[in-house]
Chains A and B, each alone.
Chain A
Amino acid sequence: GNSVTQMEGPVTLSEEAFLTINCTYTATGYPSLFWYVQYPGEGLQLLLKATKADDKGSNKGFEATYRKETTSFHLEKGSVQVSDSAVYFCALSDQGGGADGLTFGKGTHLIIQP
């Protein structure tokens, strides 16, 4: 079956540091890949996505590249801000016709200190 593995948190960084949150996946077919962000007390917001190999998704200074050869979709940002503190979820959607919705990783709690 499908699965998503992302690095355990919490990840604590200082403001303006470089961020990488690792995400690897296992899937049948050719999935679409997503990063969602959840701010405290709120729902999930789509941060970025990529639908095929070598696609790069980007938004709000975050980016992630769909790497089929390493089955990875690592999230990166060059200079984080305190306002980026949130929980980040990597997810995949199986395009093979499966109807089981998105498969999520367990989430990585990011804490940015001023």
Chain B
Amino acid sequence: NAGVMQNPRHLVRRRGQEARLRCSPMKGHSHVYWYRQLPEEGLKFMVYLQKENIIDESGMPKERFSAEFPKEGPSILRIQQVVRGDSAAYFCASSQYGQGSVGNTIYFGEGSWLTVV
């Protein structure tokens, strides 16, 4: 019973390159969330997706960041033209039910650590 799978675990990019982070939710989960953890800080919500739809992207930076969750395949968080400030741990999470469901539990992947040099 695989959990939330993220890859790559560690990614190094030079400034100006693109970073793509992938997330496969737990089996049976159709709701995916991305969070960012900056050094010495807690997790900050970025985006919430359901299959083929972005439900809430209120935490996403307005530029350079995008996310998708296609009908087939993993969810992708894409960061274009990375800058040093993008260096962080990016966590994907999934749930069986949507937000607002009583007792809905969100399960996290092990994270992808992005380092921009």
Contact = CB atoms under 8 A, between A and B. Distances in A.
B56 interface: yes
A107 B110 CA distance: 17
Contact of B45 (A46, A97, A103, A107): A103
Contacts of B58: 100
A95 B108 CA distance: 19
A38 B108 CA distance: 11
B84 to A, nearest CB: 21
B105 A97 contact: no
Interface residues of B, number: 29
Given A49-B105, A95-B100, A105-B42, 16 more contacts: A43-B6, A43-B91, A46-B105, A46-B106, A98-B100, A99-B48, A99-B56, A100-B56, A101-B35, A101-B45, A101-B56, A102-B35, A102-B45, A103-B45, A104-B42, A104-B44
Contacts of A96: 100
B106 to A, nearest CB: 6
Interface of B: 6, 33, 35, 41-45, 48, 55-56, 58-59, 91, 93, 98-111
A98 B99 contact: yes
7 contacts: A42-B110, A44-B91, A95-B100, A96-B100, A98-B99, A103-B45, A104-B43
Interface in A12-64: 32, 36, 42-46, 49, 51
A93 B110 contact: no
Interface of A: 32, 36, 42-46, 49, 51, 89, 93-107
B103 A32 contact: yes
A49 B102 CA distance: 12
Nearest to B45: A101
Which of A95, A102, A103, A106 gathers most chain B CB within 10 Å? A102
Contacts of B100: 94-99
B6 to A, nearest CB: 8
Contacts of B108: 36, 43-46
A93 B99 contact: yes
